Amino acid sequence: MTLQSGRDGESTRDGESRGAGRDPRPTRRGVLLGVGLVGLGGVLAGCSTAAVPYDANEAGVPPNGPAPGAMPSSGAMTSPAAPGSDAMSSSPAPRGGQASQSARKKAKPKPKGTVLGAASDIPVGGGAIYTAAKVVVTQPASGQYKAFSAVCTHVGCLVNKVTSGTIGCPCHGSEFKITNGAVVAGPAPSPLPARQIKIVDDQVILL
């Protein structure tokens, strides 16, 4: 049996194929190619399609820790109901009638009586005569108000002036004190009857 020199510089035996005599050890190129494929497979296996926060680390965890509650696997995002939302949605809004009733309750009730005029119009040491109501109101001292009947006790004339601390009658010259309605000068036989008043919001109200 003779050895023949192959074209690739390898010795072959007669009757055997040239390929059977090749070195079965892997070549360097094959080894590198295999290693590259294995590394590529590992990289693809390590990849994830899940959303990763912008500032997350390599493990996909954000700096402040994982967000509370996991996202649904189906991709649908759900938001938890805000606390008290059911109570807010179920509570009916107040009706306009109820609001107006509460406003009327808070409003100050109107005082009973007849409004004569403004208290600021009555001078200190003098008075004001309200002929329609037949009442004279005086202010002997600041903030102190007195009221009397404007009908003179002599013959029933109406008084017409308040000067120098007295209330004067034009018919026969009777005079009365502005402090208590007492007679200062006749012929009036008795003082002027007192009347009840009160001051509310600078208004003189006859009770």
User: What's 15's DSSP letter?
Assistant: T
d(CA 197, CA 118): 12
- Among residues 44, 45, 67, 46, the alpha carbon closest in space to that of 56 is found at 67
Homologous superfamily in CATH for domain 121-206: Rieske [2Fe-2S] iron-sulphur domain (2.102.10.10)
Burial environment of residue 147 by CB neighbours within 10 A (0 to 12, 13 to 18, 19 or more): buried
The larger pLDDT score, comparing residue 28 to residue 112, is at: 112
- Rounded to 5°, the CA angle 158-173-181 comes to 60
Domain assignments of the chain as residue spans, ordered by start = 121-206
User: DSSP string of 38-84?
Assistant: HHHHHHHHH---S---TT--TTS--TT-SPSSPPPTTS----PPPTT
> What pLDDT sits at residue 41?
58
> What pLDDT sits at residue 118?
94
Provide the residue type at 72 as one letter.
Answer: P
pLDDT tens profile 86-139? 544 455 555 655 656 665 666 666 668 899 999 999 999 999 999 999 999 999
